Amino acid sequence: MKKEDFKTKKILELMEKEYKDAGIELDFKTPLQLLVATILSAQCTDERVNQVTKSLFKKYKGASDYAHADLKELEEDIRPTGFYKNKAKALKNSCKKILDDFKGKVPDSLEELITLPGVGRKTANIVLGNAYGKQAIAVDTHVNRVSNRLGLVNSDDPDEIERELCKIIPEDKWTSATHWFIHHGRRICKARKPLCNICFLRDYSNYYLSKYTPDLLKKTLS
């Protein structure tokens, strides 16, 4: 087994042990609700989104409700999530397309999901992995940061990161691994002050080794 293969395998084993019960933290019951919640989660915490969707999902039951909603009223309903004008337009336009092109049902393929206004690969993969039970890696800021710091990838491009992670992570763990990376990024590998002193992955982290034991990193990479 190659060094990089062993490293990836070990990281995944440790993450699964630590975060085996990890799952998506957005509240939803249907694919449409998850699509809406994920669009609202951009630049917003899941906790805040869940507060907003608690009443939003009671008011807007289906794609038709969003598609035919008064834009200003919808903006006010989602205002606490930030960037509410753009998000309201995305919700209305994506739901219009769901009605026109997909008979009111949120599509269950990546190719179709990314045709919806305001829906990129990350949002599409979140819906696929969590609403439809398909294996998908969704690259958000946490997945980007953690995978780069660990040295599993070397890129800031989300699409490239997704491709590289799909190559080294077994397909049956794609969705779970996304949750593991996100949980690790939120709890330990934080953006400004990563908690390396309590990180159970630090011996496999390029970031930690380069900062605290650079000679060991050189030996590891050689």
Task: Give the catalytic positions in this structure.
Answer: 122, 140
Query: DSSP assignment, residue 184?
Result: H
Cβ–Cβ contacts within 10 Å for residue 221, how many? 12
Residue 185, amino acid: G
List for the chain the helix, strand, coil content (%; round to 5): 65, 0, 35
3-state DSSP of 26-82: CCCCCHHHHHHHHHHCCCCCHHHHHHHHHHHHHHCCCHHHHHCCCHHHHHHHHHHHC
Structure tokens that stand for 45 in this block: 């915490």
Q: What is the separation of C-alpha 204 from the centre of its chain, rounded to a whole number of angstroms?
A: 23
* Distance from C-alpha of 89 to C-alpha of 74, rounded to nearest angstrom: 9
For residue 162, give the nearest of 99, 107, 114, 207 by alpha carbon.
Answer: 114
Cα R_g (the chain), whole angstroms: 19
For residue 26, give the nearest of 48, 55, 8 by alpha carbon.
Answer: 48
Query: DSSP assignment, residue 209?
Result: H
